[in-house]
């Protein structure tokens, strides 16, 4: 059980540069730290058949204080196995809704990469919106379950990043994991307002 849980999701890790480099940096940070500090889980390696062990994932999450999602941006969102993990692990009555407070007070941090360069994520670029606009579902997911949404670490234009830049970025990621929660910017973050789901919004069984 670790206080920092890195959930990494890349459907083709063999072809990855960015995610693989960050996973390796996180693993190095984990191996040099207290074993109870950082755990890195490769979701596609753990669940190649997409049968997620929800109870095991929830048990790890219950012990963690920081959840990190590490993934490439695919269609302005997360890869499908991570979406399934979210659907199943952030369950009604556990993560949200009646009696669902298991994640309240924890932090959620996204480390993502995009193919599009930063300039493409502008009103005059081919992605048309600032990248933040694509993160509203993430941010609201955190809010609904009472988690604090930390400023994401995003590597834009991952295809064009050379080895030196990628190594520097991965090192930032590792240092952030090791130094959490002592990040200067966290002091300025708002406290999480509860988003209570009314009892009559409960899904039908």
Ligand X SMILES: Cc1cc2nc3c(=O)[nH]c(=O)nc-3n(C[C@H](O)[C@H](O)[C@H](O)COP(=O)(O)O)c2cc1C
CB closer to ligand X out of 46 and 143? 46
CB closer to ligand X out of 93 and 129? 129
Task: Catalog residues that contact ligand X under the rule CB under 6 A.
Answer: 10, 16-19, 72-76, 113-116, 158
Least distance from ligand X to the Cβ atom of residue 42, Å = 12
CB closer to ligand X out of 26 and 73? 73
Least distance from ligand X to the Cβ atom of residue 151, Å = 19
- Tokens of residue 50, six digits: 């997409």
Three-class HEC string of the chain: CCCEEEEECCCCHHHCCHHHHHHHHHHHHHHHCCCCCEEEEEHHHHCCCCCCCHHHHHHHHHHCCEEEEEEECECCECCHHHHHHHHHHCCECCCECCCCCCCCCCEEEEEEECCCCHHHCCCCCCCCCCHHHHHHHHHHHHHHCCCEECCCEEECCHHHCCHHHHHHHHHHHHHHHHHCCCCHHHHHCCCCCCCCCCHHHCCCC
Least distance from ligand X to the Cβ atom of residue 89, Å = 22
> Which residue minimizes CB distance to ligand X?
115
Least distance from ligand X to the Cβ atom of residue 123, Å = 16
CB closer to ligand X out of 72 and 100? 72
CB closer to ligand X out of 159 and 202? 159
Least distance from ligand X to the Cβ atom of residue 102, Å = 30
């Amino acid at each position: 059980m670790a206080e920092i849980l890195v959930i990494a999701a890349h459907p083709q890790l063999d072809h990855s540069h960015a995610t693989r480099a960050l996973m390796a940096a996180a693993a190095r940070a984990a191996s040099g730290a207290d074993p109870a500090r950082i755990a890195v889980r490769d979701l596609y390696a753990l669940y190649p058949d997409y049968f997620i062990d929800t109870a095991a994932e929830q048990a790890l999450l219950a012990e963690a204080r920081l959840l990190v999602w590490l993934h490439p941006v695919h269609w302005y969102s997360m890869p499908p196995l991570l979406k399934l993990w979210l659907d199943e692990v952030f369950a009604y009555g556990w993560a949200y809704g009646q009696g669902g407070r298991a994640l309240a007070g924890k932090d959620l941090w996204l480390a993502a990469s995009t193919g599009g360069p930063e300039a493409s994520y502008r009103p005059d670029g081919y992605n048309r919106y600032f990248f933040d606009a694509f993160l509203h579902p993430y941010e609201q997911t955190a809010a609904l379950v009472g988690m604090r949404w930390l400023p994401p670490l995003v590597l834009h234009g991952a295809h064009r990043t050379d080895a030196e830049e990628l190594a520097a970025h991965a090192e930032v990621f590792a240092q952030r994991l090791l130094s959490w929660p002592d990040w200067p910017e966290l002091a300025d973050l708002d406290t999480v307002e509860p988003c209570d789901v009314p009892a009559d919004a409960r899904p039908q069984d």
